[in-house]
């Protein structure tokens, strides 16, 4: 199917691109990764599934990503979380399954926390792919080189080549400092819903030990962990996409 045309939601003066497919509950909400967009392979696979199954599907681009406005380098976890919550509150109807990829898994976990705190219990399931919660503190800060630390102090950012884009990945001091205010793996994480974690064992960006650590912080919830041999960070091979759809379908059946 062709992607639906985006509509735009103003969030704190920034135009956030949103695509929604109407359908029955539970709906599925896609939360992409760092510097990704809502037209990637996994999101499109879920859009096709939603069209076939007639379930609602909602996705958006964070500021500085894809079709949304704003400057990527001004984004932080708090910024992108606020935008995701605004999209959820504006467009989501009924029970929802949050599907978060890489950084999107961090956003999904924070959304579940913030919505629950506000008395909104509509998050009924989480599917987390190559989850990277707390990546600024857990995966970036411990490995910073002297040069990168100097760039952060003097320039306010450092850049490194990306395997996924011609443009380098930029990490700002604001992103790293804000990340410390959004940490989730500091104690038990109570999502109050079933969680399915899918992690590749050949992921060069987020080691599988990070997913295991996340699972260890989810003791109160029903957690499924799928470790994918030879799976990389993208998890976009046909067999990976089949596993993603099965994970969503299993949660849908449980929530009905």
119: number of CA atoms within 13 Å, CB side? Answer: 0
173: in domain: no
CATH of the domain at 112: 3.40.50.1820
78: in domain: yes
CA distance 34 to 76: 10
Q: Is the dihedral of CA 45, 208, 32, 55 positive or negative?
A: positive
147: in domain: no
Q: What SS3 class is residue 146? A: helix
172's tokens:
């700002």
Domain extent for 54: 7-134+187-255
97: in domain: yes
179: in domain: no
pLDDT value for 161: 82
What's the rounded mean pLDDT across residues 133-161?
95
200: in domain: yes
199: in domain: yes
pTM (whole model) above 0.85? yes
Give pLDDT tens digits for 181-240. Answer: 999 999 999 999 999 999 999 999 999 999 999 999 997 779 999 999 999 999 999 999
Q: Domain total for the chain? A: 1
77: in domain: yes
pLDDT value for 163: 74
CA distance 176 to 77: 9
pLDDT value for 242: 98
């Amino acid at each position: 199917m062709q992607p639906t045309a985006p509509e735009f939601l103003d969030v704190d003066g920034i135009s956030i691109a949103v695509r929604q497919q109407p359908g029955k509950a539970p709906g599925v909400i896609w939360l992409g990764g760092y510097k990704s967009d809502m037209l990637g392979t996994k999101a499109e696979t879920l859009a096709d599934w939603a069209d076939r199954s007639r379930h609602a599907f909602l996705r958006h681009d964070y500021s500085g990503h894809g079709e949304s406005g704003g400057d990527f380098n001004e984004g932080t976890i708090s910024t992108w979380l606020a935008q995701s919550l605004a999209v959820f509150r504006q467009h989501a109807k009924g029970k929802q399954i949050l599907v978060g990829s890489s950084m999107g898994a961090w956003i999904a976990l924070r959304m579940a926390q913030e919505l629950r705190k506000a008395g909104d219990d509509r998050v009924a399931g989480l599917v987390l792919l190559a989850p990277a919660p707390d990546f600024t503190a857990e995966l970036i800060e411990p490995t910073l080189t002297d040069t990168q630390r100097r760039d952060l102090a003097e320039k306010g950012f450092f850049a490194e080549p990306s395997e996924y884009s011609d443009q380098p990945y930029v990490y700002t001091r604001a992103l790293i400092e804000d990340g410390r205010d959004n940490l989730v793996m500091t104690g038990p994480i109570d999502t109050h819903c079933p969680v399915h974690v899918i992690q590749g064992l050949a992921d060069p960006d987020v080691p599988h030990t990070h997913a295991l650590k996340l699972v260890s912080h989810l003791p109160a919830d029903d957690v499924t962990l799928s470790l994918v041999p030879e799976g990389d960070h993208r998890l976009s091979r046909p067999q990976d996409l089949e596993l993603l759809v099965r994970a969503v379908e299993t949660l849908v059946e449980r929530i009905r």
